[in-house]
């Protein structure tokens, strides 16, 4: 709670300082610009810009401490993302892993096909023998 009051007090101080810095005699400033060689419309435009700038809400600006906090948060997020990526890289298969798996599947496929064909030949022989024995 004390931190919030401190921030509000700081904002008020900044606003009061800004008001004091921009609270000036616009007519006198315009006259000074004209004497310095500016045309009156140019001098008025400059003074109007200065007057409008005093209404800018400085509370929308970030402090150095807030920027440092955001930098730290970003650094923490980067570290977390790096750790997650590293974990994913450990778990995920590489192209080399997939090639090995494909080779293994091909070998097993050939092995299964060999056994199926052998079994079919053996069963055919048994059936042939039974048919010949019956007739």
Tens-digit pLDDT profile for residues 32-50: 889 999 899 998 898 888 8
The residue with greater pLDDT, 117 or 5, is 117
Query: Does one domain contain both 54 and 108?
Result: no
Q: What pTM does this model have?
A: 0.39
Q: What is the DSSP letter of 36?
A: T
The reply to whether 70 and 48 lie within a common domain is no
User: 93's torsion region: left (phi>0), alpha (psi -120 to 50) or beta?
Assistant: beta
The proportion of the chain whose per-residue pLDDT surpasses 90, expressed as a percent, equals: 46
Q: Are residues 13 and 46 in the same domain?
A: yes
Residues 77 and 104 in one domain: no
What's the domain range around 88? Answer: 62-92
State whether 98 and 113 are in the same domain: yes
Same domain, yes or no, for 12 and 54? yes
How far is it, in rounded angstroms, from Cα 27 to Cα 47? 9
Examine the domain organization and report whether 43 and 55 are in the same domain: yes
- Residue 5 shares a structural domain with residue 54: yes
Cβ(62)–Cβ(7) below 8 Å: no
Whether 26 and 38 share a structural domain: yes
Task: State residue 134's pLDDT score.
Answer: 86
Statement to judge: residues 84 and 98 lie in one domain = no
Same domain? For 88 and 50 the reply is no
What pLDDT was estimated at residue 10?
Answer: 44
Residues 39 and 14 occupy one common structural domain: yes
Q: Is the dihedral of CA 102, 107, 111, 113 positive or negative?
A: positive
CB contact at 8 A, 79 and 70: no
Phi-psi bin for 39: left (phi > 0), alpha (psi -120 to 50), beta? beta
What is the number of structural domains in the chain?
A: 3
């Amino acid at each position: 709670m004390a931190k919030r009051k401190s921030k509000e007090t700081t904002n008020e101080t900044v606003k009061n300082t800004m008001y004091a810095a921009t609270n000036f005699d616009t007519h006198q400033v315009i006259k000074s610009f004209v004497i310095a060689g500016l045309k009156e419309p140019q001098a008025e435009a400059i003074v109007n810009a200065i007057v409008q700038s005093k209404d800018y809400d400085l509370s929308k600006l970030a402090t150095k401490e807030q920027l440092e906090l955001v930098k730290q948060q970003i650094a923490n997020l980067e570290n977390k993302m790096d750790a997650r990526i590293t974990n994913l890289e450990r778990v995920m298969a590489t192209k080399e892993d997939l090639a090995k798996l494909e080779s293994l599947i091909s070998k097993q496929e050939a092995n299964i096909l060999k056994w199926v064909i052998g079994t079919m030949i053996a069963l055919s022989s048994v059936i042939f023998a039974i048919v010949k024995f019956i007739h």
